[in-house]
Amino acid sequence: MSSVNLSTHDVSRRDLLRAIGGSMVLTASGVGVLTPALAQHVHREVADAKSLSGGPDYQPKTLTKHEFETLQKLSDIIVPADEHSKGALEAGAAEYIDFMCGRSPELAQIFTGGLAWLDVDMNRRFSAAFLDAKPEQQTALLDIIAYRKNESPETAPGIYFFTWARNMVVDAYYTSPVGIADLGFMGNTVLSTFSVPQEAIEYALKRSPLA
């Protein structure tokens, strides 16, 4: 019987992936699902598979192609690029979330269910899937589900999903190399807990059509 030799790197990577899965905390709103140190490891894992450009080299691991492209569009709306900073699309927020969904069936259900709801409601309102709708139609729907004050039995699932999507996109952005540069990060200090600064969230959302 031949033996299987695993390198130290393979073992360490396997342990790291296990740690990522075991350390995820599914809060009520999708804030701080991972510590910043583990979040940055996720970005490195994604970077190993592709460049963080959202290009054709990346094959979603959990989401379907349509779900992934819808999430990319959503992340681009939530934290768009501006004259000072790159946005969540280039930061690989959708890739980060897809990777995380692969480590948690519960998280995958939140996003697959939420993205499906987005298409169903957009079709009901504008007879188009979210990706195929006009930008002003996309913004009109997100303007509704971005705020708790608009909650009703009809909109509650969308508001729940968008709360998760917005917070995880912002977390993914600000733990990525692009987002860390945007915050003016200096050094390699590891924090024990992670919470995106409120001023950063407010700044990110001011850049979007939802401001």
pLDDT of residue 161: 94
**Is residue 116 situated within a structural domain?**
yes
**Is residue 69 situated within a structural domain?**
yes
Domain of residue 114 covers 8-206
**Is residue 173 situated within a structural domain?**
yes
Asked whether residue 56 carries a pLDDT value surpassing 60, the answer given is no
Mean pLDDT for the chain overall = 77
pLDDT-based confidence at residue 22 (cuts at 50, 70, 90)? low
Note whether 67 and 49 are within 8 A (CB).
no
Q: At what angle do helices 36-49 and 93-101 cross, to 10 degrees?
A: 100
**Is residue 211 situated within a structural domain?**
no
Residues 6+ apart with CB under 8 A from 27: 33
Asked whether residue 69 carries a pLDDT value surpassing 80, the answer given is yes
pLDDT-based confidence at residue 58 (cuts at 50, 70, 90)? confident
What tokens does 149 get? 């004050």
**Is residue 2 situated within a structural domain?**
no
How does pLDDT run across 137-167, given as a tens digit for each residue?
999 999 999 988 999 999 999 999 999 899 8
**Is residue 1 situated within a structural domain?**
no
**Is residue 188 situated within a structural domain?**
yes
pLDDT of residue 178: 83
**Is residue 61 situated within a structural domain?**
yes
What tokens does 121 get? 């409601």
Asked whether residue 43 carries a pLDDT value surpassing 80, the answer given is no
Number of domains in the chain: 1
- For residues 195 and 30, what is the distance between their CA atoms, to the nearest angstrom? 11
